[in-house]
Amino acid sequence: MTTASRTRKHLEVQRSDHTTIRYTASGPAGGPTLALIHGWACNRGDYDAVTDHLPEDYRVLAIDLAEHGESRSTRDVWTMEEFARDVAAVLEAESVDTCVVAGHSLGGAVAVEVGRLLPDTVSHVVALDALHYLSLFPALSEEQTDAMLGMFREDFAGGVHGLVEAGSPAGTDTALKASYFEKMVAVRQPAGLRSIEGLMRWDMDAALLATEQPITVFAIRDLVTREAIDRYGDRFNIVPVDLGSHHFPVEAPEGTAELLAGVGTE
């Protein structure tokens, strides 16, 4: 591991529908490649400290999904599949032959879709506290989707607050939760609402059936339920971790880097 700040290149790739995807690249072109995808209402900067703790020979691509961070788009499609095409555009621009794709929260769903889209390129899918929340990731019924979207439309800040609380184990610092809320509630609209709708409508079960790569889920121990393990334990490897809250890549970058480097050497 290294704690020295890496030299980063800030790059961009153009897609259709006036979509500009901005990303950060660091590390040697010949090293093991790791693509990092942030969560809903977050950005690629969440991985800066994680990247600094990865082995020096790692090639790291941290990507801002459309209308998150510095990426911009006027498109109308906000599905997990379309976000996966944002990532695929970066991998193509960087001529990536093989890589591990890791995503936090909503980014975990996107990572699964990248694996499905690029079976010959993605060797392993990693979800960072994602996929195991049964109230959000498996496809919801129309009634459930309408109820959740109605909550966000009527009181967006309240909906965001609920997400932050759901991802915060007992004892999580109040100031830390407040900082996550302030960042997430400021997500660009209408993409913020549309993308969380896309997650609610994502058919995770179908995606998992169509994704051939091994999938590892690093989940905060206090946020994992027996129901989730029973339902999905035979499809992805759920590894409980004690690194903080749902946003543990920010809170424990060194520990997160160790987890990611371990997957890369399997």
Does some domain include residue 47?
A: yes
pLDDT of residue 9: 94
Instruction: Determine, yes or no, domain membership for 69.
Output: yes
pLDDT digits (tens, 9 = 90+) for 61-83: 999 999 999 999 999 999 999 99
Rounded to an integer, the average pLDDT of 129-151 is 92
Q: What percent of the chain has pLDDT over 70?
A: 97
The domain that holds 128 is classified in CATH as 3.40.50.1820
- How much is the pTM? 0.96
Instruction: Note whether residue 232 is domain-resident.
Output: yes
In a domain, 185, yes or no: no
pLDDT tens, residue by residue, 170-213: 999 999 999 999 999 999 999 999 999 999 999 999 999 999 99
Asked whether residue 11 carries a pLDDT value surpassing 80, the answer given is yes
Q: Quick check: is 170 in a domain? A: no
Task: Note whether residue 193 is domain-resident.
Answer: no
Q: Is residue 84 part of a domain?
A: yes
Q: Which domain holds residue 38?
A: 8-137+202-262
**How many domains does one find in the chain?**
1
Residue 2 has pLDDT above 50, yes or no: no
Rounded average pLDDT over 251-261 = 97
Is residue 171 in a domain? no
Q: What DSSP letter does each residue of the chain carry, written as one string?
A: ---SPPPEEEEEEEETTTEEEEEEEES-TTSPEEEEE--TT--GGGGHHHHHTS-TT-EEEEEPPTTSTT-B---S---HHHHHHHHHHHHHHTT-SSEEEEEETHHHHHHHHHHHH-TTTEEEEEEES-S--TTTSSPPPHHHHHHHHHHHHH-HHHHHHHHHHHT--TT--HHHHHHHHHHHHT--TTHHHHHHHHHHT--HHHHHHH--S-EEEEEEGGG--HHHHHHHTTTSEEEEE-SSSTTHHHH-HHHHHHHHHHHHT-
